[in-house]
Structure 1
Amino acid sequence: MSLDEASKSMSRRDFIKVGGAGALALTLGSAGVPVELFGGGKVQAETNDNVKLQFNSDGKFKIVQFNDTQDDEHIDRRTVELMEKVLDAEKPDFVVLNGDNITWGCDTAIEMKQAMNNIAQPMEQRGIKWAVTFGNHDEDSTPNAGLSEEDMLQFYMAYKHNVNQPGERGITGTGNTHLLIQSSQGSKAAFNLWLLDSGRYAPQTIAGQDFEGYPTWDWLRFDQVGWYYETSKKLEEKLGYKVPSLMFIHIPLWEHRFMWYASVDGRSEADHARAVGKHQIVGERNEDECPGPINSGMFSAILARGDVKGVFCGHDHVNTYHGNYYGVLLGYAGSAGFGAYGLPGADRNRLRGARVFQLDEHTENVLVDTHMLYAKDYGIDLTANDQSTEPAPIPENKKQEKIVKP
């Protein structure tokens, strides 16, 4: 089976439902097409000189997280409507698009850029600073359209209000970085944002053993965990204090899965009832958490450092919960994308939404609140249908794209 034949064998919407590039990778692998086409890479781009995040004069700073907008160039119009209404109501200081920003269905590089532009415009038109992380679906269109994550990072960084930084040289993934937020007086770093690429899919085998029976998504690799740990230590040594922070990754940690039942193996209602009291869990869980087959050890590193106050992900579209897991908030943002899978039947779009974080530099942990916002609260049509629209034009005044250096 050729790559082109495989790519045309199912529709985009069906492709999303059955697992996107993961399913395609398995199909192509069995047909002899190299699955390396679906792998990640390393990037080194020119530094984005647009980065300056700072608390407001009242000591407050607000972040909005959109997850799994996950569409092609013909985005469902309600995804953009949701983004715009959340931004207009909340007026955040920063937005993170936390992976699976685009997906399968783009046949050319221009179409991939149109898909990315669709989700960049809500922030660009409002002058809001923003950044992306990458998820397992962002390269779904790469085999046909040709743009890798490195190319996508280059494209995103060229927007006027984007604050992504080049990926750390020599470690797994694309665009791993951290963004310091200065205090309202500009005298010190008051908060930090860790943005990591949690990868795409597990390799077919390790040491000759496949992953049949295990989750087949990717995981944060040891070099990424080490980079976080060492960078956090160096920041403390340089500044003289630990900088409180949030971490954004697309694929959840195993600890997200453990927290819901306060157990590794227990899956009973009694286990969850105990977990709600123990971990102060708020929100819904409508599907199993889907981490990779290997526990990365990131949570252990976070506990050892003591600076990360929360780890938030997406990936599992119909989970919206968060809780306190041994002093660290773990949670989901749910899916903002109306073109992606949702709940069954007529409820498909009930949980489309975004997550908000309220920061206050005058408090000890700085992070004072997080909660979900839902499309239903903005009067957005929740009908379980497809409302794809034509792509927004790419602005001519977009900054010149930076050169990616190998």
Structure 2
Amino acid sequence: MLYPYRQPHVTGRNNQLIEFRNVDGSFNQAIFLIDSNAYTEGSINSYDYIHDDQVDWYQENIKRLEKQERKAISSMLFFHIPLQQYRTAYELYEKGSKEVTYYFGSNDEKMINKVCASNYPSKIFDTALKLGSTKAFFCGHDHYNNMSLEYKGIRLTYGMSIDYLAMPGIENDTKQRGGTLITVHKDSSYDIEQIPLTSIEKQ
């Protein structure tokens, strides 16, 4: 519904920037929808990543908006394939490390890796750290994962799944299924809440 016919001249086919503003017109959030692409070597498990030119586009827009608004801005990133930092954060969580903060959810992916990230590192996470604007990343891809952890000051959240077809038997599983509600407040702070399908009463 929001897909623009004109795309920035960067890798991918669905890179978007949506500006959220309050009722009074003041800037609230920059919402980046970034194409994490698909596969790199023809194999179904050789996942692609967010490329350097996409990261440069993201950085340029953060700087442009901060110049336009004459202040630091808040932003969120949405993409499909988890970054390698999702795996790093989860492994630290499993070890009980204080480097991560746990919010909710579980990672129950049944593939070889609990977090199916690309083997190619993207510079998007380090760029976000440097810019200091983005405090929340959201991804999907891993059908049984819905955990939310904070790592290095950035919240890394999986959306809940609505899939019934990806793999044999998933139509019978319900723990991972539902929606993710993001509430953005006037001061640009936000809350993230899971809404499991099993918690919704049938009408």
Higher strand share: 2
User: Are 1:192 and 2:14 an aligned pair?
Assistant: no
Task: Give the TM-score normalised by structure 1.
Answer: 0.45
Higher helix share: 1
Equivalent runs, 1:6-405 vs 2, <5 Å: 162-186=1-25, 188-204=26-42, 216-262=46-92, 272-275=94-97, 277-281=98-102, 282-287=104-109, 288-341=114-167, 346=172, 348-362=173-187, 366-379=188-201
Once the two structures are TM-superposed, the CA of residue 321 in structure 1 deviates from its matched residue by: 0.4
Tell me the distance in 1 between the aligned counterparts of 2:18 and 2:60.
Answer: 16
- The one of the two structures with greater contact order (alpha-carbon pairs below 8 A, sep at least 6) is 1
Tell me the distance in 2 between the aligned counterparts of 1:315 and 1:337.
Answer: 10
- Retained in 2: the 8 A contact 1:192–1:243? yes
Tell me the distance in 1 between the aligned counterparts of 2:99 and 2:33.
Answer: 28
Give the structure with higher Rg (CA): 1
- Retained in 2: the 8 A contact 1:318–1:342? no
Structure 2 unaligned blocks of 5 or more: none
Residue 333 to residue 343, structure 1, CA distance change in 2 (3 Å):
farther
Tell me the distance in 2 between the aligned counterparts of 1:196 and 1:167.
Answer: 14
Tell me the distance in 1 between the aligned counterparts of 2:147 and 2:40.
Answer: 26
Tell me the distance in 2 between the aligned counterparts of 1:167 and 1:198.
Answer: 18
Once the two structures are TM-superposed, the CA of residue 169 in structure 1 deviates from its matched residue by: 3.2
Structure 1 unaligned blocks of 5 or more: 1-161, 205-210, 263-270, 381-406
Deviation sequence 1:280-324 (CA, Å, 0-9, x none): 222101121111120111101101111111110000010000111
Aligned-residue sequence identity (percent) comes to: 25
Once the two structures are TM-superposed, the CA of residue 190 in structure 1 deviates from its matched residue by: 1.4
Count of residue pairs the alignment pairs up: 197
Deviation sequence 1:213-268 (CA, Å, 0-9, x none): xx501111111011101111111112211221111000010001100122xxxxxx
Once the two structures are TM-superposed, the CA of residue 164 in structure 1 deviates from its matched residue by: 3.0
Determine helix, strand or coil for the equivalent of 1:280: strand
Tell me the distance in 2 between the aligned counterparts of 1:312 and 1:326.
Answer: 15
